[in-house]
Amino acid sequence: MGMTVAEKILSGHLVEGSLTPGGEIAIRIDQTLTQDATGTMACLQFEAMGLPRVRNELAVSYVDHNTIQVGFENADDHRYLQTVAARYGILFSRPGNGICHQVHLERLGVPGKTLLGADSHTPMGGGIGMIAIGAGGLDVAVAMAGGAFYLTAPRIVRIQLTGRLRPWVTAKDVILKVLQVFSTKGNVGAIFEYAGPGVATLSVPERATITNMGAECGVTTSVFPSDAVTRLFMQAQGREKDWRELLADPDAVYARTVELDLSGVEPLAAAPHSPDHIVTVASLAGLPVQQVLVGSCTNSSVQDVETVAAILKGRKVAPTVAFGVAPGSRQVLSMAAEDGRLADLINAGARILESACGFCIGNSLSPATDAVSLRTSNRNFEGRSGTASARVYLVSPPVAALAALRGAVADPMKEREVPYPVVVMPKAFRIDDSMFIVPPADASGVTVARGPNIGEPPRNAPLPVTLAGVAALRVGDKITTDHIMPAGARLKYRSNIPAYSQYVFEPVDPGFAKRATQNRDSGLHNFIVAGESYGQGSSREHAALCPMYLGVKAVIAKSIERIHTANLINFGILPLVFEDPSGYEKIAAGDRLSIDLIRVTLEKGAATVVVRNETQAVDIPVKLVLTDRQRKILLAGGLLNTFKA
Ligand code: MIC
Ligand code: SF4
């Protein structure tokens, strides 16, 4: 039987299990990436494993998320990351070199390899034909130590592309269309594999926009074949020697096929406050906008920035709009500078922002109260921009550019004044790797610099015999990791768990941390009760690590997202799923809960357990969807404890 692209790469890296969908497999990881917001913890955890040097093929540490440096903490993190990279053999990408996913695609990604990244948009590497997966920092630390990565053997869904995009319709609209079809829920355990004649019409940066934002569907990853178009990209990056062809066999079997005619896609937008809240741009026409931001890992390639510049050339941004552009990498920025596009942007009234995540993670450029902000990024969760009342719409770069000119959303398909600029991928990119710092072969002289904000990663105690405590919080559906562990202004505490823990659930219930601490200190275990899709969004393991620090022992939800489930297990928090969704109604915030002899239940391998609601005197059955390996980790109180053992 023929194989899909995903199966070819996975089978070449398989170390445990079989590719039959649903079971647990382990794969060898070739490359890893971390960024500053997840990397400090990942490196501290790697250090705790006691190895002299990283063991995987290529480990890269990027500094891109927090480059604001208000206070000393941020700069201390950067210095720690640079020195720890030199000490353990990690390639260091300096702040200013660009956003991890964009830079990795340009300079280091290789078709056919596996990449594990401590960031949920790592699947951007799928645009070049890699199996690139986002995970928590501890899983990435294990991969850096040469350990395998465990995941559910995926079901491969084929997205069969036909036709060709019309002018003003872009790769961003394709992934928004995919989000409309699949939504952010129900895709756990799937890989989206793009196929069909439409694939050849998309450049690698366009493919990467699509695989990047596939993360919002909750899939394991997304992948394109590595074909002649991929070869052109590798050539243009001076890396043709790393190219290899990787195509699906004609008789490959897919779990499901969805057809998507590119010529029928229209300009789309994700309306507040979810990436799958898809509307047409036409339906928004005339909506006044106060802010327009181009950038983020989804849409900050040379093609994206040049398209925006070409639309703005010789024109002026509306006086009511704050307009900013963050080129995704130093390569993009310097190319825009050299060919004059940067001047076009500046002359039009753009604020040129650093090649970093910045506004996308909400650490700068928060919109005004109630403002409408149009962004080319991938997430518009409530409050993520830093302004709770702002309404963020996700759109393509040309739609953003037109809105910046008009001061309101404009339907590009009705555009009369601005001709559509046809911008193709450059034949040769500008290559300069001098902002990568290669670790020395002999690191014996390197001292790792630790500032006062950098603490040991806390460890959990082994799972207690019985859990008894309180439903410290009850939340609804689609609680994202931005709700659980806000980034933005709080990012500087990523290396300081006691300090960061004070902000757990800050946007939902600012009193939570104090209450949970009091419960913990009086010997009560904290439970969190939630609806569907708990923990969607980012890979930040702090959304498990900090609750663990506050004494949270279990999350009981209608469903929990993939990366977050793994993070909960890694830190010894039980992920429990209501057997019947009505169980959710049987717990109120503050109720006393207990799970009798949970250790024994886990050891026996039982698939369900009963949560006793003492306050309401009801029993609520919940599922334990866990492998034997995960049960062992939970019993030990977390992965770090088992790794050491
Ligand atoms: C995000 O887009 O939410 C982030 C910030 O890149 C996160 C990582 C983090 O929280 O550090 C992600 O996507 O995993
Ligand atoms: Fe950075 Fe935003 Fe991309 Fe996350 S989604 S990696 S914050 S640019």
What is the residue with the minimal CA distance to atom 6 of ligand 1? 119
- Ligand 1 binding site (Cβ under 6 Å of any ligand atom): 37-38, 65, 119-121, 134, 361, 379, 487, 537-540
What is the residue with the minimal CA distance to atom 7 of ligand 2? 361
| DSSP one-letter string for 112-155 | T-EEEESSTTGGGGGGGT-EEEE--HHHHHHHHTT--EEEEPPE
Residue 436 domain flag: no
| Strand ranges (E), 168-318 | 190-195, 221-223, 256-261, 268-270, 278-280, 291-294
Q: Six-digit token pair at 271?
A: 């309306």
**Cβ atoms of 130 and 9 closer than 8 Å:** yes
Q: Closest Cα to residue 93, out of 32, 148, 47, 144?
A: 32
Identify the pLDDT of residue 551: 98
Instruction: Quote the ligand 1 centre to 145 CA distance (angstroms).
Output: 22
| 99 C-beta closer than 6 A to ligand 2 | yes
Identify the pLDDT of residue 186: 87
**Angle, CA 207 vertex, CA 343 and CA 533 arms, to 5°:** 110
pLDDT tens figures, 331-377: 999 999 999 999 999 999 999 999 999 999 999 999 999 999 999 99
- Same domain (yes/no): 500, 626: yes
Residue 137 domain flag: yes
- Same domain (yes/no): 172, 272: no
Q: Six-digit token pair at 393?
A: 């719409």
Residue 441 domain flag: no
**Angle, CA 521 vertex, CA 515 and CA 527 arms, to 5°:** 55
What is the residue with the minimal CA distance to atom 13 of ligand 1? 538
Unique residue bearing structure tokens 């009981």? 556
* CA distance linking residue 75 with residue 60, whole number of Å: 19
Instruction: Quote the ligand 2 centre to 172 CA distance (angstroms).
Output: 15
Identify the pLDDT of residue 643: 74
**Which atom of ligand 2 is closest in space to residue 295's alpha carbon?**
8
Residue 455 domain flag: no
* Domain of residue 534, residue span: 467-644
What is the residue with the minimal CA distance to atom 5 of ligand 1? 361
The 10 Å CB-count burial string (b at 16+, else e) for 25-38 is bbbbbbbbbbbbbb
Q: Closest Cα to residue 480, out of 537, 548, 531, 528?
A: 537
- Same domain (yes/no): 233, 274: no
Instruction: Using alpha carbons, list the distances in angstroms from residue 99 to 57, 256, 337, 391, 423.
Output: 21, 33, 18, 25, 22
Ligand number with the minimum distance to the CA of 326: 2
Q: 0.85 cut: is pTM over it? A: yes
Domain final residue pick, 414, 430, 453: 414
Name the residue of 63, 67, 102, 120 to mutate for ligand 1: max ligand atoms within 8 A of Cβ.
120
- Same domain (yes/no): 258, 274: no
Residue 508 domain flag: yes
The answer, yes or no, to whether the previous bond of 273 is cis (omega within 30 of 0) is: yes
Helices (H), 394-553: 397-406, 481-484, 497-500, 512-521, 542-549
* Mean pLDDT in residue range 435-461: 94
pLDDT tens figures, 305-336: 999 999 999 999 999 999 999 999 999 999 99
* Mean pLDDT in residue range 513-522: 98
Residue 428 domain flag: no
Sort residue 601 into left (φ over 0), alpha (ψ -120 to 50) or beta.
alpha
- Same domain (yes/no): 490, 636: yes
Identify the pLDDT of residue 457: 87
Instruction: Quote the ligand 1 centre to 293 CA distance (angstroms).
Output: 18
Instruction: Quote the ligand 2 centre to 134 CA distance (angstroms).
Output: 12
Residue 1: pLDDT band (50, 70, 90) is: confident
CA atoms within 13 A on the CB side of 632: 9
**How many domains does the structure of the chain reveal?**
3
pLDDT tens figures, 200-219: 999 999 999 999 999 999 99
Ligand number with the minimum distance to the CA of 120: 1
**Cβ atoms of 592 and 613 closer than 8 Å:** yes
CATH of the domain at 99: 3.30.499.10
Residue 576: pLDDT band (50, 70, 90) is: very high
Domain final residue pick, 414, 437, 454: 414
Instruction: Quote the ligand 2 centre to 296 CA distance (angstroms).
Output: 6
Residue 524 domain flag: yes
Q: What percent of the chain has pLDDT over 70?
A: 100
* Mean pLDDT in residue range 231-260: 98
* Mean pLDDT in residue range 173-183: 98
What is the residue with the minimal CA distance to atom 2 of ligand 1? 538
- Same domain (yes/no): 129, 213: yes
* CA distance linking residue 391 with residue 378, whole number of Å: 14
Q: In what order do the strands lie in the sheet with 91-93?
A: 131-134, 114-117, 31-35, 58-62, 91-93, 436-437
Residue 441: pLDDT band (50, 70, 90) is: very high
| 360 C-beta closer than 6 A to ligand 2 | yes
pLDDT tens figures, 131-167: 999 999 999 999 999 999 999 999 999 999 999 999 9
Identify the pLDDT of residue 644: 57
Ligand number with the minimum distance to the CA of 377: 2
**Cβ atoms of 268 and 177 closer than 8 Å:** yes
- Same domain (yes/no): 246, 279: no
| 297 C-beta closer than 6 A to ligand 2 | yes
Instruction: Quote the ligand 1 centre to 540 CA distance (angstroms).
Output: 6
Instruction: Quote the ligand 2 centre to 379 CA distance (angstroms).
Output: 9
- Same domain (yes/no): 66, 92: yes
pLDDT tens figures, 45-66: 999 999 999 999 999 999 999 9
Instruction: Quote the ligand 2 centre to 360 CA distance (angstroms).
Output: 6
Sort residue 342 into left (φ over 0), alpha (ψ -120 to 50) or beta.
alpha
- Same domain (yes/no): 316, 187: no
Name the residue of 361, 363, 491, 563 to mutate for ligand 2: max ligand atoms within 8 A of Cβ.
361
Judged by DSSP in three states, 324 sits in: strand
Tell me which of 126 and 457 has the higher pLDDT. Answer: 126
* Mean pLDDT in residue range 212-229: 98
Domain final residue pick, 381, 414, 447: 414
Instruction: Quote the ligand 1 centre to 174 CA distance (angstroms).
Output: 22
| 119 C-beta closer than 6 A to ligand 2 | yes
What is the residue with the minimal CA distance to atom 9 of ligand 1? 540
- Same domain (yes/no): 285, 356: yes
- Same domain (yes/no): 103, 13: yes
Q: How far is CA 546 from the centre of its chain?
A: 19
CATH of the domain at 535: 3.20.19.10
Q: Residue 476 pLDDT more than 80?
A: yes
- Same domain (yes/no): 144, 93: yes
pLDDT tens figures, 101-116: 999 999 999 999 999 9
What is the residue with the minimal CA distance to atom 4 of ligand 1? 538
Q: What is the dihedral of CA 194, 200, 205, 206, to 10 degrees?
A: -70
Mean of pLDDT over the chain? 97
Q: What are phi and psi of 183, to 5 degrees?
A: 60, 180
Identify the pLDDT of residue 339: 96
* CA distance linking residue 501 with residue 511, whole number of Å: 12
Q: In what order do the strands lie in the sheet with 149-152?
A: 14-16, 24-27, 149-152
Residue 49 domain flag: yes
